[in-house]
Amino acid sequence: MSTSRILVVDDDPQARDLLQRLLGPLGAVSQAAHPKAAQEKLAEGSFDLVLTDMAMPEPGDGLKVLQEVKAHLPDTPVIVVTAFGNIEGALDSIQLGAFDYLAKPFDVDAILRVARRALEQKRLVEENRSLRQHVDRSALVGRSPALLEVYKQVARAAASNVPVLITGETGTGKEMVARALHNRSPRSNGPFIPVDCGAITESLMESELFGHAKGSFTGASGARRGVFEEANGGTLFLDEIGDVGMKVQSQLLRVLQEGEIRRVGESVPVKVDARVVAATNRDLKERVAEGVFREDLLYRLDVVHLHLPPLRERREDIPALVVHFASRHARGGVSPVVTSEAMSRLTAYDWPGNVRQLENVVARALALNVTGVLGPQDFPEPIGDAPKRLTGLAGDMPSLAELSRRYAAHVLQAVGGNKSEAARLLDVDRKTLYKLLEASGAEAES
């Protein structure tokens, strides 16, 4: 495990030595006596945390160190420490992206607490960026051996036109796999038409798939093309194929054999050119044994078989999925951070609803969270522990004022210190923004 690198910048040698002793257990601590020395240290390599005094002899001060770090190491948190605690200095440092602002004389516990939090944020930012890089390379999210095997099969099958059958539990992402097949195929410029066969009644299924002529049945006031014709030149995704009735199954078999359909109420066949990808959460061989699914249709559909494993069998994919969904459902364009404890809880849960359930849980947590940091308390039991943490642990929980201050500072940092933009995202005026940033200090004085 790599050791964190920490830089302490202060013109007082006793203060530097004290901070080095305090922070030594957290990593390798380097010292700089002034901003220029700090600049030289920063040029030598990266740091995971910088603590800087605010008031130092010319040239420069703590804000200059902060600006230098943010210009060259934007992900490195900076804690500003000063004997001159004033709101103007606090606001300036926060506006420039400081992680936190502490006053001398040193509160040992406070410095250690804030430093640990800052290092954890740095680690999470790096981990989340790595996960996002994986997410961005594919519509399929994850790098587990089981999912990598699916990737390989998708790559092999994409170039052909043969039917594909995707199996897996509800919520495992079968439509995503179907879209990946389409996007990597020569048909990618054509349409991708998904159909949920389980949501269409038997009486309407025939018309939905094959279209109908005007007056062919009650309510058919005009002619209509079916999804097979709409998918010409592209891919037709038939989800929950196991729910289709026997009559329509025989018509599907004809389409797969002959490449043509007949609209309801017409006798003239219509040629179609759509690749069929079907999916089911049922065991179709059992359905065949029960006499409710045609064996010859199963053979026609199951030319290439892709099985998508449940999420509990590929837990190593959960962190990447959490980051993916957190980015998708983030509010105000500010990417949230998921704590390591929360990620451990999410990874340990069995997810009976699979990927779909995970996305819903992350979206719900973000909708109710105002801090930009998701912890175990943001997730329902049995995943998280919100009810337990509200009992007997009040001393370990930040106040509402402190949470508001952290979130305001988080938003301000995310928009590069633009106070007008931060106020707009928070839906407050600039005066209220200043009050939010002052909240924890005012609370401490009262």
- Residue 54 has what pLDDT? 82
Does 313-445 match 5-135 at the fold level?
no
Q: Which residues pair with 103 in a beta bridge?
A: 82
CATH architecture of the domain with range 5-135:
3-Layer(aba) Sandwich (3.40)
Pick the CATH number of 145-311 from 3.40.50.2300, 3.40.50.300, 3.50.30.50, 3.40.190.10: 3.40.50.300
What percent of the chain has pLDDT above 90? 35
| Residues 6 or more apart in contact with residue 90 via CB below 8 angstroms | 101, 437, 438, 441
Q: How many whole angstroms separate alpha carbon 118 and alpha carbon 79?
A: 8
One-letter amino acid identity for 326?
A: A
List the domain boundaries for the chain: 5-135, 145-311, 313-445
pLDDT above 90 (res 163) = yes
pLDDT above 50 (res 344) = yes
48-99 pLDDT tens trace: 999 988 877 766 778 888 888 888 888 888 988 876 555 566 566 766 778 8
Mean pLDDT of 27-55: 87
Strands ordered across the beta sheet of 49-53: 28-32, 5-9, 49-53, 78-82, 100-103
- Residue 219 has what pLDDT? 65
| Residues 6 or more apart in contact with residue 221 via CB below 8 angstroms | 214, 215
Mean pLDDT of 95-115: 80
> Which two three-digit tokens encode residue 382?
């049995």
Helices (H), 137-241: 145-158, 174-183, 202-210, 227-230
- Residue 282 has what pLDDT? 93
Q: How many whole angstroms separate alpha carbon 170 and alpha carbon 280?
A: 8
Q: Which residues of 387-420 are buried (b: 16+ CB within 10 A; e: fewer)?
A: eeeeeeeeeeeeeebbbbbbbbbbbbbbbebebe
Size of the chain in residues: 446
Contact 154, 306 (CB under 8 A): yes
pLDDT above 50 (res 353) = yes
DSSP 83: S
Axis crossing angle, helix 419-426 with helix 400-414, rounded to the nearest 10: 130
- Residue 395 has what pLDDT? 44
- The verdict on domain 313-445 having CATH code 1.20.120.330 is no
Q: Look up tokens 């045609």; give the residue.
A: 294
Q: How many whole angstroms separate alpha carbon 183 and alpha carbon 197?
A: 22
Q: How many whole angstroms separate alpha carbon 110 and alpha carbon 102?
A: 8
Element (H, E) at 170: none
Q: Which residues of 89-112 are buried (b: 16+ CB within 10 A; e: fewer)?
A: bbbbbbbbbbbbbbbeeeeeeebe
- Residue 271 has what pLDDT? 92
Q: 36 or 392, which is more confident?
A: 36
Torsion of Cα atoms, 36 then 40 then 41 then 47, to 10°: 90
Q: 328 or 426, which is more confident?
A: 328
The pTM of the full predicted model, rounded to 2 decimals, is 0.57
Average pLDDT, the chain: 82
The pLDDT confidence band at residue 427, using thresholds 50, 70 and 90, is low
| Residues 6 or more apart in contact with residue 186 via CB below 8 angstroms | 159
Span between the terminal Cα atoms of the chain, in Å: 43
278-294 pLDDT tens trace: 999 999 999 999 999 99
Per-residue HEC secondary structure of 225-282 comes to: ECHHHHCCCCEEEEECHHHCCHHHHHHHHHHHHHCEECCECCCCCEECCCEEEEEECC
pLDDT above 70 (res 17) = yes
- Residue 243 has what pLDDT? 93
The pLDDT confidence band at residue 138, using thresholds 50, 70 and 90, is very low
pLDDT above 90 (res 423) = no
240-261 pLDDT tens trace: 999 999 999 999 999 999 999 9
- Residue 296 has what pLDDT? 96
The pLDDT confidence band at residue 11, using thresholds 50, 70 and 90, is confident
The pLDDT confidence band at residue 147, using thresholds 50, 70 and 90, is confident
- Residue 125 has what pLDDT? 67
